[in-house]
A and B are shown apart, each in its own frame.
Chain A
Amino acid sequence: MKRKHDSAAVNSDMIRKPIQRWAPFFLWPMVAAFLIGFVWPFFHGLFLSFCKFQTTSNWEWVGINNYAKALQDQSFVYSFGFTAIFAVVSLVLINVFAFAVAYALTQKIKGANLFRTVFFMPNLIGGIVLGYIWSMIFDGFLAYYEKSILTDTGWGFWGLIILTCWQQIGYMMIIYIAGLQAVPEDMLEAAKIDGASGWQTLFKVTIPNVMPSITICTFLSLTNGFKLFDQNLALTGGLPYTINPDGTAVHTTEMLALNIYNTFYGQSSTSRGVAQAKAVLFFILVATLAIAQLTATRKKEVQQ
């Protein structure tokens, strides 16, 4: 958007002025929908996180009370820990597998296109449906031991990991393939002539060249892990749960997004202010991760 300083800018007034008169036609419809669908709900939500409320019209200012309550809520703290572990484990597994698969598929093996098609397929199916498909399969296996995925935290955790990997490896693979195809052929050739082994070429030539893809994929899988909702709801629904001495329940496979949802729409509608405060904290977390990604990507670009 730095056109103003280009030489083309002298002439572009010829374009700018007439377009500007058509703002109601070009710009305003999108801006109006954006105000309704994002800007207003965002600030309204921010405001309500400092209020006690059940409906949006009936609120009472309570300051940072909701935030204090949110941070004292054991189920929230637990779901944060659970989500963080989940996000890191899925990040590592997804990226290692996706990179390996992409690397192998770019080595001119037979049927590479067919494999690529198959591995990407789960991305087309929605999270709710995926969750139910896998819950049938896990329960089918566990039926032999007369167990269910809903009765064991460990099963639930690894079930979610398998489901997430199954879904996202194909997605990340596509990004890695694009990155790998952009590695300059002559660099690989030079490494070969210099007598570098396959592993040496991989670590000294290929991986440094696909660093941008690696940054994108790691952060994408990390934020996806933190934001996971549909799959969580459909596969385990947060179950099983334990009861604390103070009578509150902690659902042991409940992730952050589901915890916020349940606080909003659970049995009691008295904790909506706390739920909104949790949502703001969740937003700050996700936004921080995204900004960290942006800076990391920028840095890599400078180095190249």
Chain B
Amino acid sequence: MKDSFKKQKLGKTITTVFFVLLSIFYVFPVLMVLVNSFKVNTFVKTDTFGIPSGESFAEFDNFIKGMTFGGYPFASSVVYSIIITIFGTFLILLFTSMAAWYISRVDSTLCRVVYYACVFSMVVPFQMVMFTLSKTADTLKLNTPWTIPVIYLGFGAGLAVFMFVGFVKSIPLEIEEAAAIDGCSPIRTYFSVVLPMMKPTLVSVAILEIMWIWNDYLLPYLVLDRTEYRTIPIHIQYLKGSYGTVDLGATMALILLSIIPVIIFYLTCQKHIIKGVAAGAVKG
């Protein structure tokens, strides 16, 4: 008995040690970004894993250089990314939740067609529509950071509608009936009765959309007018992907700046993020 107890304890220690090693492997790449963002460019390639010191230490030069790197202000990229993510997520949350409520309560033939079209859109890869979508966006002038959220609402509606319909179906009708008897108009019923009840799903959908839009590269790359508007992923792709000499030090500095807010967001909303991901995955 005592023996098996010891064995179990040993097993747990081994697992813990293994996980510590695995964690180091997981953090290592991000750590390398930090290290190399303070390194002089030429040393990034020749001495990637060394700690910057002496002649390889660049102080804050990379960050200063990075601000106007590639002839484009990094601050603009940050602002555009923030505008598109916030505005896009807001549009999706508001309009898909309203539509989902309408779809499940009215339940007409049209509603079913819309619903199944939304489900269908989830299995269509972006490459299928990218060319025609970017042309449509151009024609309708949806190619600025202030209008591209409409495209996100359209292309991202599928998953959101699906998740909201799933939730609305679980809300007992009696509550809304009571509101109707009390003389609530549909608008009032929706905003003061239904919407507050949807909070958990709103949070889950918001998390999924934020993660998608913030990191999305190809859609804004094809839709936005790139000479004027670059989101963070587009900007970084420009720096690394362009021909000629690449300043790795400055690129790493910008990558570091772009992941710091993400990591802060993650650490503060971790519980919601993990729950949102689990909820979004179960949709299948």
Contact = CB atoms under 8 A, between A and B. Distances in A.
Given A30-B99, A166-B29, A216-B282, A126 B214 contact: yes
Given A15-B180, A30-B98, A126-B216, A36 B127 contact: no
A302 interface: no
Contacts of B142: 36
Contacts of B30: 121, 133
Interface in B43-93: 44-46, 48-49, 91
Interface string B243-281: 000001001100100110011011100100110011001
A287 B29 contact: no
Contacts of B140: 36
Contacts of B274: 116, 120, 174
Given A104-B19, A122-B26, A129-B255, A56 B135 contact: yes
Given A39-B117, A123-B277, A283-B124, A19 B106 contact: yes
B202 interface: no
Q: Interface size class for chain A?
A: 35 or more
A167 B207 CA distance: 17
A127 interface: yes
Given A1-B107, A1-B112, A19 B278 contact: no
Nearest to B265: A124
B182 to A, nearest CB: 12
A304 B99 CA distance: 33
A37 B127 CA distance: 13
Interface in B166-185: 169, 173-174, 176-177, 180-181, 185
Interface of B: 12, 15-16, 19, 22-23, 26-30, 32-33, 36, 44-46, 48-49, 91, 95-96, 98-99, 101-108, 111-112, 114-115, 117-118, 121-133, 135-136, 140, 142, 150-158, 161, 169, 173-174, 176-177, 180-181, 185-187, 190, 211, 214-218, 233, 236-237, 240-241, 248, 251-252, 255, 258-259, 262-263, 265-267, 270, 273-274, 277-278, 281-282, 284
Interface of A: 1, 3-4, 8, 11-12, 14-16, 18-23, 25-27, 29-31, 33-42, 44-45, 48, 55-56, 101, 104-105, 107, 109-111, 114-129, 132-137, 139-141, 143, 166, 170-171, 174-175, 178, 216, 219-220, 227, 229-230, 233-234, 237, 257, 260-261, 264, 272, 275-276, 279-280, 282-283, 286-287, 290-291, 293-294, 297
15 contacts: A1-B107, A1-B169, A15-B177, A23-B102, A33-B95, A34-B114, A48-B131, A121-B26, A128-B215, A129-B258, A134-B29, A140-B48, A175-B278, A230-B218, A264-B130
